Chains A and B, each alone.
Chain A
Amino acid sequence: MSKTLLEQTKAVVQKAQKLGAQGVSASLGRSRNSRVEWRDGKLDRLRESTSMSVGITLYVDGRHSSNASSDLRPEVLDRFLEETVAMTRVLAKDPHRKLPDPGRFKDRFEGDLKIYDQAGSAAVTAVWRRKTAEDLEAAARSGPRADQIISVTSSCSDTASESAKVTSNGMEGSRRSSTFVLYTETSVKDEGDRKPEGWHYAVTRHRGKLPGVEKIGGEATRRAFLDVGAKPEKSGRYDCIIENRMAGRLLRGLLSPLNGQLIQQKRSFLADKQGQEVVGKILSIDDDPLLVEGLGSRTYDGEGMSLKKMPVFEKGVLRTFYLDTYYASKLGMEPTTGGQSNLVFSTGDLDLDGLLKVMGKGILVTGFSGGNSNSATGDFSIGIRGQWIEGGKIVRPVAEMNLAGNHLEFWKKLVELGGDPNPYSSWRTPSLRFEKVQFSGLS
């Protein structure tokens, strides 16, 4: 099947070349997704799809365009190529637009990343999905205070995808992958009209690696009850721990300015920080595309360049920007890769409870809301909810507060990493402990 996809992709490239494109990069993708959503004892939504699309990047007479279509009827695809090649000719020339150097296609990892569960995908049935979703709800309702639950929504879904990529200067690749997802959300009663929600999820490459339903359903309900009665605390500088599964939301503001476009367009506060210590010495982050069963694992990137592990931060020092061929050329630098794969973090020894004990007093951040980060200055401000901690224990829930800072200062206040990297994300973030950061709440 993959061979057919690869052959089709090659045919697209050849066709575009015939129409006058000197350089062509094409990707064909096909995926199948099924999902059952269960709510309060009943089937709520059943969703299934099979989809296929083509993406084509064209280099015509020194000009460039990128195009996509889900209308793959042969005669339409031909016409689509004709029109997009013609359209590209109208644009301004850009000497930096070119396919990656063929040398970048070499030394691709050939081993098995174990990101496709062929047997698991083939064995999934509609009955299993429905039963699993139902079991998730039962797990969510199995604990104490079940009469305080307003609603439980759960879902079970799986996706199997395959894609092929071909460039006119010699790159060919194809891959298959699968994901399996469990999700539960519980709403519970609170004072007045408030109805706090708790949620939990798992996503894996292999069906057999999904945790038991109680770990997801039960956890969603536990989290909902933890938020009952949440109120803001007084504004102040407090120690805090950011829970592993939410840490990525804050990290985005630090990591997205490593993107080549933002650097070249002078919208990145990290543009002149390569080789400098930007975050706390205890933090190292690797981009590891070859992580076995990783949710971001891949052997080649969107341009077809072969990937390998690279340090992003090494003991606090910024090592690598994310540069695709275009922005690397504009910056006069060597391309790395344009997008993140898996991020693997340095970790500590303690689990979340252990970190809470070390912190003693402060805020455990369990959720973020809204917020943003200024890529040019590094200033950020983000809504939080979580728990007030005293004596290393949860005392009361907090909400309607903000956490604010500047990334260049904030990450130097990172004093400890947990030993609990989140397995259900391509960013395997551990819980993070900070000292004295700015929260705003009540005056």
Chain B
Amino acid sequence: MNKGMNRRDFLRAVGTGAVVVSVPVLISGCTSKVLNPDTQAGAHGTYFDQFGVDTGLIRRTLEKGLSRGGDFSEVFLQHKIGHRVGMEDGEVNRAHTAVDLGAGIRVLKGDATGFAYCEELTEAALLAAAETAAAVADANAGARPQPLAAVLVENRYTVEVPWTDVGIDKKLPIIKRADAKARGRDRRIIKVAIDFADTTSRILVANSEGLLVEDDQPLALLKVICVAQDQGNTEVAFQAGSSRDGLRFFSDQTVDRVAHEAADYTTTLFDAVAAPVGELPVVMAAGVSGILLHEAMGHGFEADFNRKGISIYAGQIGNKIAPEFVSIYDDGTNERLRGSINIDDEGTAGQRTALVEKGILRSYMHDRISAKHYKTRSTGSGRRQSFRYPPVPRMRNTYMINGPHKPEEIIKSVKKGLYTEMFANGQVMIGAGDFTFFLRQGRMIEDGKLTHVVKDANLVGSGPKVLEAVTMVGDDMWMYSGGSRCGKDGQSVPVSFGLPTIKVGAISIGGRRS
């Protein structure tokens, strides 16, 4: 091999992870040249050494970043391998592999950001990107970066076998099982489509303050989409299960649950009537209704919007914004949830951030820039979609903790209202505070009892008003981790959220039944 690489090094450096069959099968005698990148940082350097990026090159890149007088420079390296396998019409007949490799170079001067990325990890490409990013400042000379010191962080999502070593042979039985379970659930199910996706993202963050830290982030998803027909009507629904875990996440129990829920959500829709029009009190079921926190409050608590003064929550730290029994957290440390991170994409350790405690707004979610602005510490909330983007404050796993009420008593307390069970998506106007979320499925509450099913209505309200109007909080919180993604600044990152059953004041329901 060229440049004195031995074969193993070569294989590591070029491995794309499109593993056909699993490694144990290979060891037992298969001769196919199946490759996989090395999974851990070696004893003598970082994961990216195999791509020719050693700490010397990282340091030269950081130094180039500071060469125009920037305050801070940062190198973010990423190697991401993604696989998707799909089933439609009963056959696993599609697959997709994606390999992404590159470096994002960021230079800060005050609040201002210079950012460039490159997709080649050569010295020339890295230094050119650093020079571009350096132009955020305009002096002739700059400081030298601190010597790099590697930091080890707690790993909350180790996997026994990395996804780059898991072949399609191990995924096929899961997909086939999910298909059979969904189809077998109800004779009205006429189509089932399955999407199985896994990604392995290895990142390295190094900065001019001497930080050097790596993380290996697995993420897996099983999505089951069902189509059902009954008396000329067609309904579609899906369910997904996702985790920062390896193959073991897809136990029979989990696969069956996802498949059955997908089927049940679909067939239940046949019983649904159009949602009502106008304002009603709303009881939000535990779990997936956590999208309320994400849209109605979460984005407003992201510090960049507050630093710019444009969030409705700007200047509100220390103020009472919700009743006493409301406490809301954003957390990177939950075990294996989609939004869990050992480090954020600026290298800050994963942590739990109290946003609202006993009704008082305690903290925004900070990245490096906003933390400096507010003279506080980063909350480990600087996230980015990939090396192609600069980080911004983002949510991780957002949840409200349990309150004093029982779910049954909450439902019982409503004379006429809406009980929300399944959502599709949401959005918020950061400044005005108006939020929306789209209800896929819920039930009416009449005289304290759940009655008929309703579907497909957009709910709209004012975030601060809804938070003030939380009148009851249940004791049944759970985290939904079914494949949610959050979009902001043109970037998408995986997140999770959770909620106990809660009762809020009137929300406007955009149904069709007047």
Chain A residues with a Cβ under 8 A of chain B: 39-40, 42-53, 63-73, 75-76, 78-80, 82-84, 86-94, 97, 126, 150-151, 153, 187, 190, 193-197, 227, 230, 232, 235, 237, 265-267, 269, 330, 369-372, 374-377, 379-383, 385, 399-406, 438, 440-443
Contacts and interface: CB of A to CB of B under 8 A. Distances in A.
B35 A47 contact: no
29 contacts: A42-B111, A43-B112, A45-B390, A46-B112, A46-B136, A63-B93, A68-B98, A73-B120, A82-B33, A87-B95, A92-B92, A153-B308, A190-B432, A194-B433, A195-B311, A265-B193, A266-B234, A374-B455, A376-B227, A376-B234, A377-B234, A381-B438, A381-B456, A382-B458, A383-B427, A399-B429, A400-B460, A400-B462, A401-B508
Nearest to B132: A48
Given A43-B136, A44-B113, A70-B101, A265 B510 contact: no
A369 B460 contact: yes
Contact of B460 (A75, A92, A377, A402): A402
Contacts of B456: 372, 374, 377, 379-381
Interface in B493-514: 506, 508-512, 514
A51 to B, nearest CB: 5
Interface of B: 10, 13-21, 32-35, 85, 88-89, 91-102, 110-120, 132-133, 135-136, 167-169, 190-191, 193, 227, 229, 233-236, 274-275, 277-280, 295, 308-314, 316, 388, 390, 424-438, 455-462, 464, 506, 508-512, 514
Contact of B312 (A89, A193, A375): A193
B391 to A, nearest CB: 12
B431 A381 contact: no
A83 B390 contact: no
Contacts of A42: 110-112
Contacts of A51: 102, 117, 119, 388
A25 B388 CA distance: 26
Contact of B113 (A45, A374, A406): A45
A87 B460 contact: no
B512 A64 contact: no
A76 B436 CA distance: 45
Contacts of A405: 512
A82 B20 CA distance: 11
A90 B20 contact: yes
Which of B19, B114, B456, B459 lies at the interface centre, i.e. has the most chain A CB atoms within 10 A of its CB?
Answer: B456
Given A76-B99, A265-B227, A369-B436, 8 more contacts: A48-B116, A49-B117, A68-B96, A71-B99, A76-B16, A126-B135, A402-B459, A404-B458
Nearest to A88: B95
B191 A440 contact: no
A195 B312 contact: yes
Contact of B21 (A67, A90, A377): A90
A404 B132 CA distance: 48
A53 B102 CA distance: 12
A8 B436 CA distance: 47
B191 A442 contact: no
A92 B14 contact: no
A88 B97 CA distance: 10
Contacts of B16: 69, 71, 76, 79-80, 83-84
Contacts of A232: 508
A66 B96 contact: yes
A370 B92 contact: no
A265 B236 CA distance: 10
Given A232-B508, A265-B193, A379 B274 contact: yes
Contact of B94 (A91, A385, A442): A91
Contact of A83 (B18, B91, B280): B18
A196 B432 contact: yes
A192 to B, nearest CB: 9
B96 A39 contact: no
Nearest to A405: B512
Contacts of A237: 514
A404 B512 contact: yes
Contacts of A269: 234
A196 B311 CA distance: 9
B388 A86 contact: no
A16 B368 CA distance: 45
Contacts of B168: 87, 90-91
A65 B277 contact: no
Contacts of A88: 95
B368 to A, nearest CB: 14
Nearest to B113: A45
A47 to B, nearest CB: 5
A434 B99 CA distance: 47
What are the nearest 9 A-B pairs in CB distance?
A: A402-B510, A370-B436, A195-B431, A83-B18, A383-B436, A370-B427, A381-B458, A94-B93, A92-B91
A269 B236 CA distance: 11
A78 B11 CA distance: 12
Contacts of A442: 278-279, 508
A97 B310 contact: no
B115 A45 contact: yes
A49 B309 contact: no
A197 B430 contact: yes
B103 to A, nearest CB: 11
Given A45-B112, A91-B94, A39 B512 contact: no
